[in-house]
Amino acid sequence: MLQNRKVRIKVAITSLIYISMIVLSLYYLLLNAERLKPLYLVNLTADFFGMLTGYVLFVSCLIDVQRTGTDYRWYFYLLNAVFFGLFTDSVAWLVDGNASLRWLNIADNTLYYMCMPSAACFFWLYCSQLMKLDEEFHRRMNGVVQLGLMLWLSLILLNIPAGFYFTVSDAGVYSRSAHCWMHQLYGYAVLLLSLYMMYRQRRFLDRYRRIAFLVYIISPVLVGILNVLFYGFSINYAVEMLVLLLMYCVVNVFQGRRKVVSDRDLALASAIQERTLPREFPPFPDRKEFDIFASMTPAREVGGDFYDFFLIDEDHLAMVIADVSDKGVPACLFMMISKVLIKTYLTQGESPGRTLELVNKRLLEGDSAGMFVTVWLAVLELSTGKGVSANAGHEHPILKRKGEDFEMIRYRHSPMMSVKDGIEYKEREFQLDPGDCVFVYTDGITESVNGNMEAFGDERLVQSLNEEESASPRLLIRNVTEKLHSFTGTDEPFDDVTMLCLRYNGCCTS
């Protein structure tokens, strides 16, 4: 469903124009069928079915834009230019020879002559967009091509008083001048330029796209030659519309094939990520000193959040929750590297702060592609409840003392990791008594918004925890998830939603 009101209005107006042109063409074709020459009927029939094809393409592109977000901007402009070429061609044959419609004949043929150079310009821009050309040379050429179009359209407008391309007599009869062929020079020059660009950038195009674009470049030239040689034969825009249909099909097949590969890679990354996160609960059935639960719901198939917990030795439990500044496969790889490094240094006996320093240094040694990661890391001594934590730009933890409410513990963070070298990550000591509970999370919860663009926020998160404060970590996380879904009105998260909750039971012998 189209979300933007202005977009909906534009789509409605364009659809109305398309349908009105098709209906008018069909109406006047049927009304004048008996008096028209057989060749004119062939042209008008080709124009009518070309316009029908154009409207189908218009609707199909709209569906693709809503479903996949594909940018069809210049393809839409190209489609419109060819569609108006078909309409003006059909009108030209219907008004030709009618003295009372002489000025309509002049205006219509002027627009008809404008459609070909416009279509060539939009084809160039569409190819540039599709091949993602952003070099200085191509940016300049885009400007030259668009400026050339403005100048050429001005020349066509000058034809009205000068008549160097065509004239319409007082009897309403259209006739071409000896220089009529010259109005096609700009279009052919741009198409040749497009051919040169395709050759230079052929590595960006698969074989089928190259064939489709080559057909589009060649077909106007061939049909244009036929138009010059055989007056009255005018199916060039109908042929172009069929080639546009071919281009659309080829592009969709290419995108579909690319999506299959992308989906396969995402599924593989998702499976790897699934195996790297602890998913079995309770994770340590024989350990009674604590109860722990965690969950991660990605905004996409592969998220950038992660959590981890593991026993460093028999008396020390490590807990980690982190948020990578991206999504998809790159974030998954960055996440896995960070997770492995953190676990490696902790198991080697490093403290939380020192671990973050070492991981930060290692991450900066590689190519992080501009990504960074926020981390909350803690090590808890199970026999005493004493703990040490370090926070690299992550969200504030939420703590509940036995018999009290959950409360957010606010303090100044250290900087996030993979941004700057040489950072010393401060450590904070804490003490958990039996019955105390720690809850940590990522900003996918607090920054989730509802239909009024209101954020879930810290207060709602704390309130959600306090509604059933004595619940187990599993139930606490489930309650927060339900409250979040109720607030946003959807089960699809705005961002990755990750939570980890631990309840300390104290040293147990049984």
- Token pair of 139, please? 């940016």
Q: Specify whether 497 is located in the same domain as 407.
A: yes
Note if the pTM is more than 0.75: no
Residue pLDDT, tens place only, 213-236: 777 777 766 776 666 666 666 777
Q: What crossing angle do the helices spanning 236-276 and 38-68 adopt, rounded to 10°?
A: 20
Q: Specify whether 165 is located in the same domain as 291.
A: no
Model pLDDT, residue 509: 45
- Cα-based distances in Å from 296 to 126, 151, 267, 493: 41, 58, 16, 11
Does the pLDDT value for residue 368 go beyond 90? no
Q: Specify whether 164 is located in the same domain as 305.
A: no
Task: Decide if 155 is inside a domain.
Answer: yes
Question: What sign does the CA torsion over 221, 226, 232, 233 have?
Answer: negative
Task: Decide if 340 is inside a domain.
Answer: no
Task: Decide if 161 is inside a domain.
Answer: yes
Residue pLDDT, tens place only, 290-349: 999 999 887 755 667 889 999 999 999 999 999 988 776 777 788 888 999 999 999 999
- Amino acid type, 152: W
Beta strands 497-504 and 437-441, pairing class: antiparallel
Query: In 32-169, which residue ranges form alpha helices assigned H by DSSP?
Result: 38-68, 73-95, 102-130, 136-162
Q: Specify whether 252 is located in the same domain as 299.
A: no
Residue pLDDT, tens place only, 437-464: 999 999 989 988 887 778 899 999 999 9
Task: Decide if 167 is inside a domain.
Answer: yes
**End-of-domain residue from the set 263, 289, 309:** 263
Q: Specify whether 67 is located in the same domain as 157.
A: yes
Q: Which residue range(s) make up the domain with 477? A: 280-325+374-414+426-504
Task: Decide if 401 is inside a domain.
Answer: yes
Q: Specify whether 14 is located in the same domain as 133.
A: yes
Q: Specify whether 106 is located in the same domain as 216.
A: yes
CATH number at residue 161: 1.20.1070
497: how many CB neighbours lie within 10 A of its CB? 23
Residue pLDDT, tens place only, 129-180: 777 665 677 778 888 889 999 999 999 999 898 888 888 988 888 888 888 7
- Token pair of 19, please? 């349908």
Task: Decide if 366 is inside a domain.
Answer: no
Model pLDDT, residue 342: 95
Task: Decide if 349 is inside a domain.
Answer: no
Task: Decide if 361 is inside a domain.
Answer: no
Model pLDDT, residue 2: 44
Average pLDDT over residues 58-75: 75
Q: Specify whether 182 is located in the same domain as 297.
A: no
- Token pair of 383, please? 């026999």
Q: Based on the structure, what is the number of domains in the chain? A: 2
Q: Specify whether 174 is located in the same domain as 98.
A: yes
Q: Specify whether 94 is located in the same domain as 34.
A: yes
Residue 444 backbone zone (phi > 0: left; psi -120 to 50: alpha; other: beta): alpha
Contacts of residue 116, defined as CB under 8 A and 6 or more positions apart, other chains included, come to 85, 183, 184, 187, 220, 236
Please state which of the ranges 28-42, 138-152, 393-407, 423-437 shows the lowest mean pLDDT.
28-42
- Token pair of 211, please? 């064939």
Q: Specify whether 285 is located in the same domain as 245.
A: no
The Cα–Cα gap between 43 and 272 comes to: 59
**End-of-domain residue from the set 236, 263, 290:** 263
CATH number at residue 461: 3.60.40.10
**End-of-domain residue from the set 263, 292, 312:** 263
Does the pLDDT value for residue 510 go beyond 50? no
E strand or H helix that includes residue 365: helix 352-365
Phi, psi of 130 (to 5 degrees): -65, -35
Q: Specify whether 207 is located in the same domain as 315.
A: no
Q: What is residue 176's three-state secondary structure?
A: strand
